[in-house]
Structure 1
């Protein structure tokens, strides 16, 4: 099969390897830059390098070249490089800076460690004006600067702020034009019987025929899976989607990540008849046929199913679906992700059974046979969990992480040091304060006070850092105000688990329940509330 693109493999798009991508000449330049960086003073401003590529091809600016260019820029500006945030195969239009894997960690958790963010070009950093505006606000809040290698950007000046906004607007227009071109291409592709671009539906793979054209062919393993599912759904006692998933995963025909909803989405896709489809805007995770100018479906490949087989399968799936209880808008399960089964390790969920006379709620797990022993009183379990959590964590203070800027403290330290140096020099023989006893005593007294003030400054306060501030409430008060939802959200965030032990009691239908809290050792650190600076932008 002919190679159709120079796009790098997915593994190389996610990261680049020093030995594989850096040439000997590049490594020599890198060592020289690091040597020059070592000569910088200790208080030199710190730079974080941001590297991004949407698609890594042989024609794009390589991450190695971006890093070297930015290191040269940092050297010229007198910055010390403290880190490199490399996010490859990431679209700036779809993923804002704070949601990227590496850069997002620096912005959300490690902002005290750098003073300026350097990037190769603005469109390498952001492509949406709203994202740029959010980053400017963030930089102004935390005293950071944005610096571009190929754009005149400097947030320390009013003109620089205006210019970066204008450039960002141009980048957004360019991204919009690109989006328009891509949408136009997709609209054209939908009307063609040839396969031009896109990922084929499950059951098909792309191939190249003898004329060099891209075609779709049926994938053999998927063909076996789909036809087995069709036969299983058509039995007198049809197999459920969950049953199908278990069999397929156990047989090795499908991966362990397969879910019942994904399998149903595949089985209901009209593309399995060999027709072109598009996403149905009115039905989530469903596809619909694309009709040609003649009003008929557009065939792009041989069908995995004939039309009779496909519509017979849909009828069987519909018939099985009628036996399932309707999905509730609000889940009856509380503390999902906290309450777990000690035997299988899965989440405990509440199962609702309805009869003509009453409605019954049972708490079961998802891994044990038949859900293990069902606990018929979920509210009692919730109440006991709340009481146990309040006993252990309720009296702890709620602490909020805040950003402490050390710039003012650094200025004060510099002022004191300069003043001390001045008085020490003028107290030396021949200095202005050494001429009389009175001036010498007064200057010595001032010098002693300056030294005492300098020693009283905690060196830690001169550093940009995170500090934890008590907001005046305990977690008991916080959870009483927010209810079970607030407590559940905090427990999931912190990683607190609670094992629900169910022991069968002879001649008693309901099992005996015992709860066991599993609290991480670093729970105090995890409970600290961290403000999401980009929460409104998500």
Structure 2
């Protein structure tokens, strides 16, 4: 042991503990040891981690970690009440011992009388660490078994109360079950219905704040007699609520849906607020651009982020204004996002009024009577990915079994239970893929594009365009008689017509052109051909100006 060592006192307290390991007792014991005449040490600091599991790597603990990674030169000895206060993982303990040996430091357990500066101390410390890991595994197994039993009984296993649900006593009187909270289940239904009618998450949040509707956490505080904290709704909150599997009644653990032994999803409620299909719709909606960049400010235009430059393909920005000081008027423009950077030699540009009118005309006139189609929310892609992952897990399990890794007593039963569960899940996922692949990809709503379009404001129209894969492409100086040319493509409708070999009234319903040249036979030109023509015309004009 180093004479008069600099001592780092390490304290840890897990969520489940008793008075025998209280922080004060750990601190007093370490201080008493450091003050002993045979030590004469000085406690230079404390690494106190409360509510931290013994299974967490010491280098990753909030308080201890920085001492090990950033302040190692400030201490000589790590002192703990007991070895399990340092870690309950023998692997982590061995790594920390090696770290100390390389740096000339030592570990001391003050109540177990272990000083790792001696060979005997090292041996006893390793033995104790191994027992601590076994105890941790036993605790976790007991907790998991208890949670599984509660799940099988349909009883809530604990955690934050899911949005829109409330506790109710189980029929057997053992624990709590989840039932719909009348007020906030209705609010969730309202939010879902608004998303279906192309309200953005931002707009929903603004409306709830305007109506002074408490957020879920504030609502729970008010119900329990506590004052509201006045937390505001945000776009991200709305997205998180409607895409959370618990809204559809699915039980999750660490972000993953939980299945039973037959591979079926475990439900947290017999009467979920959202149907699985509705939840799928929400996930599909908010895994697009709106989820990647949730709006923090209101939209000022119908086509910002929807219309694209026909030459470079970049999005056109939201409306920009340019003042005519002589006339005292303002003009609003859409412009290619590459206009300012100069990376597009032929950037598209159009007044907001004109471009909005073209798109309104395309929907209202050219496609007014075409059937409005909803893209099916079902998609076998994610399920296929999950199916392949489960197959690989089963293959690894069988490989381990053949290698004799389940030969010990009690492991056979564990192996066959896991094998049954994975096999059942593979069968279920295969059946789901077959059903989804055979289902229609588009559903006729029974309404026309014009009817639905007329009910929407600019923000809803923008969401509608994205949702139904309606493409707006703008070209500059494509023809002599107009400053901009526009093509509006209804790609969902095109896919539906071509996929079902349909022709509606002998008209080309999936494209509308404004100020675009035609082929000699009167047919429309492809977007690629129009882009080449735009480049050629602008290049000629630029050469003429240069001369």
- Taking structure 1 as the reference length, the TM-score comes to 0.46
